[in-house]
Amino acid sequence: MEKETARIEAFSDGVFAIAITLLILEVKVPGPSADLRLQLLKQWPSFVAFIISFAFIGIMWINHHRLFTHIRRSNNTLMILNLLLLLGVSVVPYPTAVLAQHLGQPDQRTAAILYNGTYVVIAIFFNVLWGYAKHAHLLPREDDHATARKITRQYAVGPISYLICLLLSWLSVPLSLFANFALAMFYALPPHYAVRRTD
Give the Cα separation of 83 and 185 in Å (integer).
24
Residues whose CB is less than 8 angstroms from the CB of residue 135 and which lie 6 or more positions away in sequence, other chains included? none
Measure Cα distances from 177 to 13, 85, 184, 185 in Å: 26, 22, 11, 12
102 found inside a domain: yes
137 found inside a domain: yes
If we measure between CA atoms, which residue out of 179, 177, 188, 115 comes closest to residue 154? 188
Q: How confident is the model at residue 79 (pLDDT cuts 50, 70, 90)?
A: very high
| Containing structural domain, residue 71 | 6-24+46-194
38 found inside a domain: no
pTM: 0.84
Residue 187 region by backbone torsions, left for phi larger than 0, else alpha for psi between -120 and 50, else beta: alpha
57 found inside a domain: yes
Q: What is the mean pLDDT of the chain?
A: 86
79 found inside a domain: yes
31 found inside a domain: no
pLDDT at 150: 78
Q: How confident is the model at residue 1 (pLDDT cuts 50, 70, 90)?
A: very low
